Amino acid sequence: MIYLDHHATTPCDPRVVEAMLPYLTQHFGNPHSDSHEAGREVRRAIDQSIDSMAAILNAPRESVVITSGATESINLAIRGVLMHPRCKRHQVVVCETEHPAVLEVADDLSKQLSAGGQPIEIIRVGVHPHDHPSAGQVDLVQLRAAVNNQTALVSIMWANNEIGSVAPIKTIAEITHEAGALLHCDATQAVGRLPVDALASDVDLLTASAHKFYGPKSTGFLVVGNGNRRVRLRPQIVGGGQQRGLRGGTLNPASIVAMATALRIAIDEMESDTSRILTLRELLWGRLHESIDGLQLNGANWHDDSSVRLPGNLNVRLRDVEGEAWMAATPEVAFSSGSACSSTEALPSHVLLAMGLTESEARRSVRFGVGRFNTADEINSAADQLIASHQKLVG
Ligand SMILES: Cc1ncc(COP(=O)(O)O)c(C=O)c1O
């Protein structure tokens, strides 16, 4: 199996596994037991891990809240702001291409009342269409028009998980703060792949998941405040009072040490990883494009400016075959259709539809995500298989 689905998840780096193992066996104390050294030594390891992550993210150390991953962080950020008793505003602005973890929280909130007793209103802003140079990026004119003195929170992702588009976060933060609102940024696909600086970008709430940067699954964090303004959150998980009451429950030392190790490696090796992954994506795109008639790129073209798109991301559209059929015909390559699975029904990607593609075009699209451990041999072998299976399908 050649794994080319690194936006879905990444394997744990062996160095990460090595760092976390002692915290499952030797150092097993409860980090919240401070009456003995078994607990205190584990607490110190957690504190060092949080210090290290905060320094990398340029965020105050007390702003890092450990969660079970991006979905929980997003829930805490969005519900937490809107449900805080002192939140007087009732609107949330999101982008149409957000991950379902954001869109579904927003939809759920739209059935509830704000702390001030008004129905919560969700405003969705669009993105630039597929033939625009900034295809898939949030439309800042629409954003400016949507944000006002009733907006409590804007939630816009740093980098899109399907088409890899990278948002102009600093400008989004300026627009948000001019209206006196807070900015939550789902940086799940960006952390570990791009330099993410909470203070320089002026993001108020920042979400990440360790398994997207070669750490373990079900582990993540939420940065709550960058030191520039006060962020009030109503906790979503209570009981035990851990993490200053913001998120109850015993911390998992092994996964926190692992997440910090994974982030440190990602930062130290970002330059070399990025340049290798860019070369491999180019190889994959070049091979498929030259051999598959009518193959189109979905999303921004990176050839003039590689910063517009996540380094390993490739999303392509076939002229004549559905993505699901291509995947089924290429079982030795792991890649995904641009669709999100909702129960039993595979829906066309809401991201591609938001960019103006038709349902049929969206169904003929697939996503590849090249990662740290892929090699040129693997990319060539995957391309051979993909070209051959496509050829078989078109007859
Ligand atoms: C952009 C984005 N946000 C949120 C999530 C949810 O992450 P998790 O399942 O780790 O909670 C994902 C995972 O695919 C993602 O890509």
Backbone angles phi, psi at 91, to 5 degrees: -110, 145
Spatial neighbors of 360 by CB under 8 A, at least 6 apart, are: none
Burial category of 244 from C-beta neighbours within 10 Å (exposed 0-12, middle 13-18, buried 19 and up): exposed
Regarding beta strands 365-369 and 336-337, do their DSSP bridges make them parallel or antiparallel, or are they unpaired?
Answer: antiparallel
Q: Are 75 and 69 in contact (CB under 8 A)?
A: no
**Segments of the chain assigned E as strands:** 2-3, 64-67, 91-95, 121-125, 151-155, 182-186, 205-209, 220-224, 296-297, 313-317, 333-334, 336-337, 340-342, 345-347, 365-369
Residue of the CA atom closest to atom 14 of ligand 1: 8
Distance (angstroms) between ligand 1 centre and the Cα of 192 equals 14
Q: From CA 185, how far away is CA 150, in angstroms rounded?
A: 19
Distance CA 257, CA 215 (A): 10
Give the pLDDT mean for 51-77: 98
Q: Where are the beta strands (DSSP E) in 203-295?
A: 205-209, 220-224
Measure the CA–CA gap between 72 and 173, rounded to whole angstroms. Answer: 22
Please give the pLDDT value at position 339: 55
Closest CA to 115 of 239, 228, 233: 233
pLDDT at site 262: 99
Q: Domains (ranges, CATH) in the chain?
A: 2-9+270-394 (3.90.1150.10), 14-267 (3.40.640.10)
Separation of first and last alpha carbons in the chain: 25
What lies within 8 Å, CB to CB, of 89 at 6+ separation is 114, 116, 149, 150, 151, 152, 181
- Residue 29 Cα, ligand 1 centroid: separation in angstroms? 30
Task: Please confirm, yes or no, whether 341 is among the known catalytic residues.
Answer: yes
How large is the average pLDDT for residues 267-273? 98
Count of CB atoms situated within 10 Å of the CB of 103: 20
Catalytic residue among 12, 87, 95, 341: 341
335-353: pLDDT as tens digits: 998 554 544 567 899 999 9
Q: What is the average pLDDT score of the chain?
A: 96
- Tell me: the pLDDT tens digits for 138-147? 999 999 999 9
Q: What does the pLDDT read at residue 299?
A: 97
Q: What was the pLDDT predicted at 337?
A: 84
Residue with CA nearest ligand 1 atom 5:
70
Q: What is the pLDDT of residue 395?
A: 87
Atom of ligand 1 nearest to the CA of 9: 14
Q: What CA–CA distances, in Å, run from 349 to 51, 106, 167? A: 38, 18, 19
pLDDT at 205 over 60: yes
Q: pLDDT tens for residues 298-312?
A: 999 999 999 999 999
Query: pLDDT tens digits, residue range 223-236?
Result: 999 999 999 999 99
Cα separation, 319 vs 116, in Å, equals 51
Res 346: pLDDT: 78
Contact of 238 with 249, CB cutoff 8 Å = no
- What is the per-residue burial (b if ≥16 Cβ within 10 Å, else e) of 20-40? beebeeebebebbeeeeeebe
What is the average pLDDT across 193-197?
Answer: 98
Q: Name residues whose C-beta falls within 8 Å of residue 57's C-beta, 6 or more positions apart in sequence.
A: 64, 191, 196, 197, 198, 206, 223
Report the C-alpha gap between 91 and 239 in whole angstroms. Answer: 29
pLDDT in tens, 157-186: 999 999 999 999 999 999 999 999 999 999
Is 70 near ligand 1, meaning CB less than 6 Å away? yes
Rounded distance, CA 12 to CA 345, Å?
Answer: 30
User: Average pLDDT, stretch 319-348?
Assistant: 84
Q: Is pLDDT of 66 > 50?
A: yes
pLDDT-wise least confident of 22-36, 60-74, 115-129, 336-350: 336-350
- Predicted confidence at residue 343, as pLDDT, reads 43
The torsion angles phi and psi of 278, rounded to 5 degrees, stand at -60, -40
> pLDDT band at residue 20, thresholds of 50, 70 and 90?
very high
In the block, residue with structure tokens 């906790």: 235
Is residue 216 within 8 A of residue 210, CB to CB? The reply is: yes
pLDDT of residue 342: 45
* Minimum-distance ligand 1 atom for the alpha carbon of 74: 4
What mean pLDDT do residues 357-366 have?
Answer: 97
Cα(362) to ligand 1 centroid in Å equals 21
The amino acid at residue 166 is: V
